[in-house]
Structure formats: structure tokens, C-alpha cells
Structure 1
Amino acid sequence: DANIKSPINGIVNKRYIEVGAFVTAQGTQLFELVDVSKLKLKVNVNESQVASLKIGDNIDIKSTVFPNEKFSGKVTFIAAKADATLNFPIEIEVSNNTKNSLRAGMYGTAVFNFPKQAPSILIPRTSFVGSVSSNQVFVLDKSNNTSKVRNVVTGRILGDNVEILDGLKEGETVITSGQINLAEGTAVSIVK
């Protein structure tokens, strides 16, 4: 007979042996222990958000399962490189409440207190001549219903839309289809 003690406090989530079973000392897994007093929340943030974060920042956490309870966490990891979607993975260590209401595997939402951003102009990705990397779009010259090539500075890609940081003014009409048939000064008709 032997007594087995865990090096951590936690809850036995799975038991891989039965009472009376023979075990060896060569790393046989006996139990799966889960410590839910502190949990890890993985979140992706964009480049402007990652620039405002640092290790140790306090973050508010919301849970849809417990909407009336408040949870908090600290940033413990910030990726040095963006992923394929140009977002930066970060990890937040979430402190559970005294009742350990949160469980491993539940979803949570990180609430960041970033400085407010000014409203921005968004245009469809399909508006660009060739591709988003060309940084060129056609706008409608309303004085004579012709197309004009405009160089723009792009920001974030938000799904099917792209943020425009410079090169367009609010209220300008961007041509979103048929650019392959256009050149500077081509007459266009508006189809809605």
C-alpha cells in the first residue's frame, strides 16, 4: 500500500487507476488534476491594441455563464510576432472567485480599456485596384461622373472591410466593382 500526494491543490478530474492496481515509478499517469483557482484566457488583439498592452496589465473578464459576477486577470504573455491573421496572441491569467465558479474550458471575454479611437472610414476589400496591397482605389468625380485613381493609406483589415487612414474624405463615393474596366477619367454610371 502507498499513499499518493499531489504537489498542487486541485480537483481530481479523471482517475486512470483503480484501488489495488500495480503502478511503476516510471511516469505512469494516475490522475488528471485540475486547479481552477487560476485559469488562462487566450485572446487575440490587433497591432494597435498590442502596442497599448504590457505584461502585468490588469484586465476585466466577463463570463456569459455568470453575467453578474466580476472576474479579473493579468496579462502574462504577449506574442512577439503576429499570427497569419495579423493579430497578436496574448494570455491572461484569470483569478477565479472564492467559489471557483469558472471551470477550465469555459469561454470568457476580456474587456480592455484602450484609449478611444476616432471614427474611421471603412471600405470593402473589393474596392481596391488589383488587391488591398496596391493601396489604390477609384473614386467618383461627381462633377463629371468620371473615375479618379486615388492612393490611400490602409489600416486594419476588419473582415471584408479595410480601414482607410488617409486618402479619402467622408462622403466621397468609392467605386466598389468593375475596376478592371476603369482608367483615370473613364465615364461611369452609378448602379445601386
Structure 2
Amino acid sequence: MSCADFGRLHSVAGTVFWLVVCRRCAHYWKLVIILFNKPFRVLSQFTTESDKSVLAGFIDIPGVYCAGRLDYDSEGLLILTDDGNLQQRIANPKYGKRKSYWVQVEGEPGEGDLEKLRKGVRLKDGMTRPASVELMSAPDIWQREPPIRVRKSIPTSWLKLAISEGRNRQVRRMSAHIGYPVLRLIRHQVGEWELGNIPVGRYKVL
């Protein structure tokens, strides 16, 4: 946009949307924001030279791009928008957007294990910021295809975990660091935006 613009979040009847307002001419634009429930084994991009599934198979709205990424083997909330400034505010860790996950792990972590994540753990790329984490009951969600591989001799647990960083495969590395490999990872919230009841493989335009 050529105007001197800035964005503000608005909420009407429970729907959150983003307006860009020009300081000089008072014109405004309602930006396109898409909440997509990304399935397992889908790349967070529209094209690829491989045979992997991409966003183009699910989203047919032109001119939108991912605001942050979600790993190929992770599921849940992926935000797309047509505004570069908003992309940066969501994706860039310096803005501290909180990202919340449901994490199924192998084993049964205790409070001592979770406290390590709350204080921060040292990974190869440095200390993590303190995370919010607690045990939770299994969420009422869709069945993954293919399903996870469960070893009958080892129980699994679900964690509710939130971070304000965006390092590569960070949640998986944090969980592995304390000895509990991730079996399934679902992002259900980024900042103000929540996955809600959007079916897997479908999207909602705000």
C-alpha cells in the first residue's frame, strides 16, 4: 500500500478482524485473514517440486501467504493473510505472539519435568524462554491419518504448552530434551486467533 497505514484489531459479534487505516486520507481496508486447520503431512506452502501435499490442495484464495509456518508433520492452526506487515507481526519472534499447542508425548512426565520447561531449557541454539505447560486430558479432536504408532508397553500423555518463540521444531526439541518424545503436535491458538471448531483440512475467512 502506498498510503501511510497502520493496523488495528477489531472485534464485532465475537469475530476478530484487522483493519488497515491510512493516516492521511482516512481510507481503510479490511485485510484477508484465513484460519486453516492444517492436516498432518501437508507443507506450509503453495507449491513444491516434491510429491508432498501443499496448501493449494485446500485453499483456493489468491494472494495470501503463511504468517509463520507449521511443520509438515504437525497439525492445527495456520494463519494466512494478504498483508506483509501483519505477516511479520505474527511470525517474527520479536513481537512475542503466544503460540499454544496440544502435545501428545510418549511417557508420563511429572511436575519436575514440566518445571524444566517452565524455567527454560538449553537447546543447541540456546536457552528457550520460559514456557507455560501443564498436563491435560486428551482433547476432543479429529483422528489423525495415519494414526500415531503407540507402543502398548509405554503410556502416553497430553500436554497443554504455550511458547512465545518460533524456533525450528522447537516444541519437539524441548519435549525430547526432558525425555518425552512428541507423538502428535497440534497448534490450537496463535495470539488472538483460535482454531475453534474448524474441521481438519478446512479454513475460515475472517
Structure 2 length as normaliser, TM-score? 0.28
Q: Larger relative CO (CA 8 A, sep 6+): 1 or 2?
A: 2
TM-score, structure 1 normalization: 0.30
Question: Which structure has the larger Rg?
Answer: 1
